Amino acid sequence: MDKAALYRQVEEQLTALLEDVPDLVAAMASAAALLHDAFDHMFWVGFYRLAPDGSLVVGPYQGPIASTRLPPGRGVCGAAIAAGETVLVPDVHSFPGHIACDPRSKSEIVVPLRYRGELVGVLDVDSDRPDAFDETDRAGLERCATLVATAWI
C-alpha cells in the first residue's frame, strides 16, 4: 500500500477510535500508537503539550524514552511553535538547537496542535532514517493532528 493510502486508512481508524471519546489524552495516546504501528519509518511518535511558561511537556508517545520538558523556543518542536506551522527536518544533526533525545534520531517532523485556533502543543515524529519525511507525511500528520484536537474537553 502506498503511503498516501496508508494515511487515509490511519485517518479512518483514528476517526473511529475517537468517536464519542472527548478526551485529549486518550486521543493523543490512540494517535501515537496508531501512527507508530502503521509506519515503519516512524521511530518515535508523540505529543508535547504547551505549558503556561512556554515550555513543552511530554504527553502520550510511542518509542524510546523522551525528554519530559523542552525549554521554550528550543529544538524542532520549539521552532514549530514559534512558526505556527509544520517543520520538516531532513537531518536533525544540522538543525540549529536540535535537542537530542535519542542519538538514533536522524530526521523529524513536528506539526502544531491547535484547539479553536490556539496552539496547545505539537505532534512530534522522529525517524531513525535520514530524510524520512515528505509532503505526504506533512499532509497526513496535519490531518491526524486536527482529528486529535477535536477530542479536547
> Across the chain, what does the average pLDDT equal?
92
Report whether pLDDT(98) > 70: no
CATH class of this structure's domain 3-149: alpha beta
Give residue-wise pLDDT tens across range 29-82: 999 999 999 999 999 999 999 999 999 999 999 999 988 999 888 889 999 999
pLDDT tops 90 at residue 4: yes
Between 43 and 103, the higher pLDDT residue:
43
Q: How far apart are CA 81 and CA 131, in angstroms?
A: 21
Contact in structure between 44 and 125 (CB atoms under 8 Å): yes
Between the two ends of the chain, the Cα-to-Cα distance in Å is 35
Are the C-beta atoms of residues 79 and 99 closer than 8 Å to each other?
no
Domain regions of the chain by residue span: 3-149
The pLDDT value given to residue 116? 84
Which helix H or strand E contains 70, and what residues bound it?
strand 69-70
The pLDDT of residue 22: 79
